[in-house]
Amino acid sequence: FNWQVPREVTSRLEEVLKINEIQGMALTRQGKLYGAVIILMLNSKSLEEKQALETFLYQASIAIHRRQLETELVNAKERAEESDKIKTSFLANMSHEIRTPMNGILGFAQLLANENLNREETREYLNAIDSNGKLLISLIDDIIDISKIETGHVKIYPDKIHLNHFMADVFQNFITDSVKADKKEVRFSLETSLPNDDCLIEADLMRLRQIINNLISNAIKFTEKGFVKVGYTVEKPSIITFYVCDSGIGIMKEKQDMIFERFVQADLSITRKYGGSGLGLAISKGLVELMDGRIWVESEFQKGSSFYFSLPYRQIKEQITQKIDHHTEGKIKLTEKTVLVVEDDKFSFKYLEAILKRYEVNILHAVNGAEAVEMCMKNSNISLILMDIQLPNLSGYDATRQIRAIHKDIPIIAQTANAFDEDKQKCLEAGCNEYLAKPIAINTLISILAKYLF
């Protein structure tokens, strides 16, 4: 009937069974076909009691339909209960992950109020506040990113990347002296495939860094001894595969597909040894797929894990400039340079002012966009502008456009708490040369100063 059996075989069966006619009746319910009943007639006489048979088949369809609904309802209930369990565990874990660094920040801030602290204690407490603050920012970024991925608001912006410099930078930012001291029994290594003078590619720099950061962070966290290996290979002309391998705790086979899901971790128990929000791999998977790639894991429990992701890329043939060492604090004086800081938040201004004073820069301060435009009209010697975006009176976008009409070549650096990709694009379209997302790292600001002022 469905052509799975050769016609000559079915013809012979009809002869042996003396089949004269075939009647087919569908089993349907609410427009859905569940199957069919095939009746083989032994004579040519029309089927009697056809109405009774149709009634029977109709009842059979209802029974099958009801059974399927019951099965689907049970499955939906089980999925809902499992989802509720996962989300409840996730929310409890998130509360822990938020309150723990907040406890460190607020606790050590109170301890700093003690006037009897010595220099070593002060430095220790400040390091604790800095470390916990970075943890909290990372968690907030993860929550924002997973929300943006779910709602389809993440966009990919290609950048030119010197791949070997990029990988070395990512690796060194993670494998610091403190990490090596904490993981004394772990060997760290970086592997690259392309030569230094032929590894300029086009890809989304920020998202690529985010994915690799997530994978390295996990590898370090879950590895107490052995190795952590980071690198990439080029297997096809336009496909590059990145990998982060470790000899850590590994992942059980039945958990390997789950770990890329939202709100899921390999260990959801409250007694688990390792912390984390459980969003890193879900974010990484979402970003890789947005970049038309794929991500997967190969792991053996208690023996280690290897995470891979492959991405399409475009290789660029251009002259590559070497990176500049920007550790110049105390060596360069910029007394002839003037920087306009457009910032309405007094604490943010004080922070930027403290960094700029190290280079003896002349500092101008505007608290809104209109004031910034007026200062630019009156001062032709401004060397660089640090422009906040969310400002009273006149926004940073509009202020930048008006300043561009007066000074076409002055470097304008957006510095904003709006950390979405589209915000960066808006800043560049308004006329900004660079974009800095708050909180701004000292080294990042020094790099900007080096690029435009040194």
3-state secondary structure of 141: helix
Tell the residue number behind the tokens 């660089």, with chain if given: 384
pLDDT at 245: 96
pTM of the model: 0.58
pLDDT at 69: 85
pLDDT at 191: 94
Tell the residue number behind the tokens 């379209």, with chain if given: 429
pLDDT at 270: 37
pLDDT at 27: 83
Per run of 10 residues, the mean pLDDT along the chain (length 454 residues) is 79 85 79 82 68 80 86 85 71 75 88 84 88 83 82 82 90 84 91 88 89 92 93 87 94 84 54 59 92 93 93 74 47 85 92 90 94 92 93 92 92 84 83 88 85 85
278 Cβ contact list (under 8 Å, min separation 6):
90, 93, 263, 264, 265
pLDDT at 330: 52
pLDDT at 331: 61
Please provide the size of the chain in residues: 454
3-state secondary structure of 296: strand
Which of 241, 235, 271, 277 is CA-nearest to residue 259? 277
Rounded Cα distance, 412 and 430, in Å: 10
pLDDT at 262: 67
Which of 227, 224, 226 is CA-nearest to residue 190? 227
Tell the residue number behind the tokens 């992701």, with chain if given: 309
Tell the residue number behind the tokens 């049970």, with chain if given: 74
Which of 434, 389, 441 is CA-nearest to residue 411? 434
DSSP H helical ranges for 113-204:
119-151, 163-174, 177-182
